[in-house]
C-alpha cells in the first residue's frame, strides 16, 4: 500500500485544484534563463487539465520583502505557457479579490498562475489565517514542489491540514525513488548532498548517515565541513558558526560506519566574479 495519495486516488474533474509547484527558476533581464523546473512540473499540470480539473498554481519566487516587481511570477507564467503549449492565465495576487475573481472565471481544464506567495510574509510564517484564505480558492491540494517540501510554509504544508491532499507526479517520482534508496536499498548506497547551507539540511544529514554507506557532500555546504576540519576557505560561502554541528555529523557518521566524502581540491579565485582568473589547488596547498 502506498504511504501517500497521488492523482490516481482522486477524480479532479470540475474541481479547483490548488497545485503547489516550484517555479523558482533562474532569470536574466526579466526572462526565464532555464526552463528545467517548468518542464519537471509540466506533466502534473497537463494531466490535471486534461482530466477537466481547474489548475490553480501556487509558487514562490526569490526572497522578496513585500511586493517587488522583479519577483513577480508573471513572466514565469508566460514561459510556462510556452513549455506546456497551453494558455496560462495570471492573477496579480494569491489571495483576496484578484485571486478569487480569477478562480471564479475559470472553466474546467483552465490553468491559472497566482502571484508569488512570498509577497505575503504570512506565507513563510505558515500563518493559519493566510492558510485559510488560500484554502478558500481550492477543493483539493496537490503538492508537486518536492524541492520546497522541507519548508513548513502555508502553501507547502499548511494547506495539507485544510484540504484533501495528494502528491503530484514529480513529488510521487521523488518519493518513490527515496523509498527505493532508503527503505530496502541494494547496497552499497551513496547519497550525494549539495546546496549552499548546512543549516537547512541538518536533520536530513543526521538521518542519512544512519541509512547510507557513504555520504558525498558538495556545493557551498562542503566548505562548512572543510572549515570545521581546519581547512582555510577564505571568503567562500560557508556557515562558519555551524562548525560544531558539522563535527557532530562527522562523529555520527563515523559511529554509523558511514564514509563522509568531501572535496579533495578546490578552484580558487582572488575575486568572486564571472570569468575571474582561477586555479585548482589540492586542499593542502590552497594559498592564504
Q: What share of the chain has pLDDT > 90, as a percent?
A: 74
Model pLDDT for residues 117-144, shown as the tens digit of each residue: 999 999 999 999 999 999 999 999 999 9
Global pTM? 0.77
Secondary-structure class of domain 185-285 per CATH: alpha beta
| Domain 7-172 identical in fold to domain 185-285 | yes
> How far, CA to CA in Å, does 62 sit from each of 17, 101, 209, 225, 237?
24, 26, 31, 27, 19
CATH superfamily of 7-172: Phosphoglycerate kinase, N-terminal domain (3.40.50.1260)
Using omega within 30 degrees of 0 as the cis cutoff, is the peptide bond preceding 82 cis?
A: no
Confidence band, pLDDT 50/70/90 cuts, at residue 2: low
Strand 16-20 relative to strand 140-143, pairing: parallel
- The phi and psi torsions of 193 (rounded to 5 degrees) equal -120, 130
Domain spans, the chain: 7-172, 185-285
| The three cell numbers locating residue 10 | 482522486
Amino acid at each position: 500500500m502506498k504511504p501517500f495519495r497521488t492523482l490516481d486516488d482522486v477524480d479532479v474533474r470540475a474541481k479547483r485544484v490548488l497545485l503547489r509547484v516550484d517555479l523558482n527558476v533562474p532569470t536574466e533581464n526579466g526572462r526565464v534563463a532555464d526552463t528545467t523546473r517548468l518542464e519537471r512540473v509540466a506533466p502534473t499540470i497537463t494531466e490535471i487539465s486534461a482530466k477537466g480539473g481547474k489548475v490553480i498554481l501556487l509558487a514562490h519566487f526569490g526572497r522578496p520583502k513585500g511586493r517587488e516587481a522583479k519577483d513577480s511570477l508573471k513572466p514565469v507564467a508566460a514561459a510556462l505557457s510556452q513549455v506546456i503549449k497551453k494558455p496560462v492565465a495570471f492573477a496579480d495576487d494569491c489571495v483576496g479579490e484578484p485571486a478569487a475573481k480569477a478562480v471564479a472565471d475559470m472553466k474546467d481544464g483552465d490553468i491559472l498562475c497566482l502571484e508569488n506567495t512570498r509577497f505575503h510574509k504570512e506565507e513563510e510564517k505558515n500563518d493559519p489565517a493566510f492558510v485559510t484564505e488560500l484554502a478558500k480558492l481550492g477543493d483539493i491540494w496537490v503538492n508537486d514542489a518536492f524541492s520546497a517540501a522541507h519548508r513548513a510554509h502555508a502553501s507547502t504544508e499548511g494547506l495539507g491540514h485544510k484540504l484533501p491532499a495528494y502528491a503530484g507526479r514529480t513529488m510521487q517520482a521523488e518519493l518513490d525513488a527515496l523509498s527505493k534508496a532508503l527503505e530496502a536499498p541494494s547496497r552499497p548506497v551513496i547519497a550525494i548532498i549539495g546546496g549552499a547551507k548546512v543549516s537547512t539540511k541538518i536533520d536530513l544529514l543526521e538521518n542519512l548517515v544512519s541509512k547510507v554507506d557513504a555520504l558525498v557532500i558538495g556545493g557551498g555546504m562542503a566548505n562548512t565541513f572543510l572549515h570545521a576540519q581546519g581547512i582555510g576557505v577564505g571568503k567562500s560561502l560557508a556557515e562558519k558558526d555551524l562548525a560544531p554541528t558539522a563535527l557532530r555529523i562527522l562523529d555520527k557518521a563515523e559511529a554509523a560506519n558511514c564514509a563522509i566524502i568531501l572535496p579533495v581540491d578546490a578552484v580558487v579565485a582572488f575575486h568572486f566574479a564571472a570569468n575571474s582568473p582561477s586555479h585548482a589547488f589540492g586542499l593542502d596547498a590552497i594559498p592564504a
